[in-house]
Amino acid sequence: MQKSCAIYVVNYKDDARREKMTQRVKSIGMDAHFVHPVSTQDPRIVDQPITDFEKRNWSIFFQHVDCMKHFSENTTYDYCIICEDDVMISNRLNTQIHDIINLYEKTELDILLLSYLWPFEVAEDHYFPVLHRDEQFKIQGYPIDLWGAHMYFMSKAHAKILVERYTPEYAISQTPEEPFCTDWQFTKFGKRGLIVPMIGVEEGEVKTDHGGQMDFHRRCFEYNYHPDKFV
- 23-75: per-residue pLDDT in tens? 999 999 999 999 999 999 999 999 999 999 999 999 999 999 999 999 999 99
Domains: count for the chain: 1
Question: pLDDT class for 211, splitting at 50, 70, 90?
Answer: low
Specify if 166 maps to a domain.
yes
| More confident site: 212 or 13 | 13
State what percent of residues in the chain have pLDDT above 70: 96
Interval 86-113 mean pLDDT:
97
Tell me whether residue 219 is in a domain.
yes
Query: What pLDDT score was predicted for residue 179?
Result: 86
Q: What is the CATH number of the domain that holds 44?
A: 3.90.550
Tell me what pLDDT residue 213 has. 77
Banded model confidence at residue 177, pLDDT cuts 50, 70, 90 = confident
Over residues 189-204, the pLDDT tens digits come to 999 999 999 999 999 6
Q: Would you say residue 19 has pLDDT above 60?
A: yes
Q: Which helix (H) or strand (E) holds 19?
A: helix 15-27
Beta strand segments in the chain, E:
5-10, 32-33, 79-84, 87-89, 111-113, 130-133, 138-140, 151-155, 192-196, 200-202
Q: Measured between alpha carbons, how far is 217 from 212 in angstroms, rounded to an integer?
A: 9
pLDDT at 152: 98
Q: 111 in a domain, yes or no?
A: yes
pLDDT band at 205 (very low <50, low <70, confident <90, very high): low
Per-residue pLDDT, 208: 55
Answer whether residue 229 is part of any domain.
Answer: no
In this prediction, residues 204-228 reach a mean pLDDT of 80
52 occurs within a structural domain:
yes
Ramachandran sector of residue 175 (left: φ over 0; alpha: ψ -120 to 50; beta: rest): beta
Within a domain: residue 20? yes
Does 100 fall in a domain?
Answer: yes
What confidence tens digit (pLDDT) does each residue in 112-167 have? 999 999 999 999 999 999 999 999 999 999 999 998 899 999 999 999 999 999 99
- Range(s) of the domain holding residue 42: 5-224
230 falls within a domain: no
